[in-house]
């Protein structure tokens, strides 16, 4: 619920007059910084799982999940802007549809695959691997 609220609130703000300039004029920079922030959030969840007792970790995870939702709102707005900029004339609709399909497929397959791998490797290992992949993705986005 906290993640959804953060997503709704920030995607509204980012797509409105106050945040439109960032999403429109700097979509790749916004995306790369957001992916880097998400890598830090995933790493924090892994560290909380390893080091903190449940009564300390749970309230902190709630804050992290809210921030995760905020970052999803940022990525939703800047991602659509990036696809619009990169798509060739006359193919904007197809490009947007493909972008949405890939995002949705990755959410479904990623959750399933993450669950299967976590059952073998453990959840903390999966969070650490996810943080590493997001950090690598942020570096790639920053260089482009």
pLDDT tens digits in sequence order for the chain, 144 residues long: 555 555 555 555 555 555 555 556 666 677 777 777 877 887 787 788 778 887 888 888 888 888 877 777 777 777 777 788 788 888 888 888 888 888 888 888 988 888 898 899 987 788 788 778 878 877 777 776
- Residue 112: inside a domain, yes or no? no
> Residues 64, 45: contact at Cβ < 8 Å?
yes
38: CB partners within 8 A, 6+ apart? 68, 71, 134
Q: Is residue 54 part of a domain?
A: yes
- Burial per residue of 56-86, b for 16 or more beta-carbon CB atoms within 10 angstroms, e otherwise: ebeeebeebbbbbbbbbbbbbbbbbbbbeee
Q: What pLDDT is stored for residue 136 in this prediction?
A: 83
Contacts of 130 (CB under 8 A, 6+ apart): 42, 114
Identify the domain containing residue 21 by its residue range.
Answer: 2-78+122-143
Whether residue 88 is contained in a domain is answered as no
Task: Report the domain count for the chain.
Answer: 1
- How confident is the model at residue 16, as a pLDDT? 56
Residue 8 lies in a domain: yes
């Amino acid at each position: 619920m906290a993640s959804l609220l953060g997503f709704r609130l920030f995607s509204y703000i980012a797509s409105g007059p106050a945040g439109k300039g960032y999403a429109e004029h700097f979509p790749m920079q916004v995306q790369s910084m957001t992916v880097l922030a998400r890598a830090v959030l995933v790493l924090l969840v892994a560290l909380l799982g390893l080091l903190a007792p449940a009564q300390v970790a749970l309230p902190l995870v709630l804050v992290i999940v809210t921030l995760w939702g905020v970052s999803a709102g940022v990525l939703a707005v800047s991602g659509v802007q990036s696809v619009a900029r990169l798509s060739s004339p006359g193919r904007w609709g197809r490009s947007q549809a493909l972008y949405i399909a890939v995002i949705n497929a990755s959410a479904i397959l990623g959750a399933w695959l993450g669950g299967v791998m976590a059952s073998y490797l453990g959840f903390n290992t999966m969070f650490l691997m996810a943080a590493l992949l997001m950090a690598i993705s942020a570096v790639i986005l920053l260089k482009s």
